[in-house]
Amino acid sequence: MTDTPVPDAVNTLQFARDLARLEARLADAAGEWLPLEQQSPAAAGFLVLLHELTEGTDPVPAIATAMRAHDRVYENKREHHEASEEQRRIIEEEVAAEEEVTKKVECPFCGVSAGMNCRGTGAGGGLRKRSHRDRFRLARSLNDAPSEPGGGTASPRGSTTAGPASR
Ligand SMILES: [Zn+2]
């Protein structure tokens, strides 16, 4: 303990202020209250390390505790990220499968022929990633009712006998 400078009173005060400010910044960056993707594992670990050391914990157990704090946030983030990636992939596949069916018909909304992407309605036009809703519905209606003759359901709701829609 020969080369440890003993700080004078002013420096001690300054040190305490700097430490408090650093801890506030780290707590902010660690962001336990924030969504996982915005939390910083490094800030969380550093913050715990400072706490441990200022509490007088020996360096090795202090570092071990800090590493656990870091790893916990890190792992949570990783799992969260993987889960969202998986979710995104599933949705993309669903959309792709939907589009495959939808694009088999001509779009009644924008008029593109089967197999083509729908056109946007904006000034510049452009191709749409997803088909128009009308096209989606049309494709489904053709798909779901292959050769069903119209109006064969027996569910008498009223006394009036509605004729077949011949318009
Ligand atoms: Zn369209």
- Exposure pattern of 127-154 as b/e (b: 16+ CB <10 Å)? eeeebbeebbebbeeeeeeeeeeeeeee
Residue 84 CA to ligand 1 centre (angstroms): 30
User: In this model, does residue 161 exceed pLDDT 70?
Assistant: no
User: In this model, does residue 167 exceed pLDDT 60?
Assistant: no
Average model confidence (pLDDT) across the chain: 85
Share of the chain above pLDDT 70, in %: 79
Residue 129 CA to ligand 1 centre (angstroms): 10
The token pair at 18 is 């700097």
Rounded Cα gap, residues 32 and 76, in angstroms: 12
What average pLDDT does range 88-113 have in this prediction? 94
User: In this model, does residue 30 exceed pLDDT 50?
Assistant: yes
Residue 130 CA to ligand 1 centre (angstroms): 9
Residue 90 CA to ligand 1 centre (angstroms): 24
Residue 58 CA to ligand 1 centre (angstroms): 68
The pTM (predicted TM-score) of the whole model is 0.60
Q: pLDDT band for position 145 (50/70/90)?
A: low
Q: pLDDT band for position 144 (50/70/90)?
A: confident
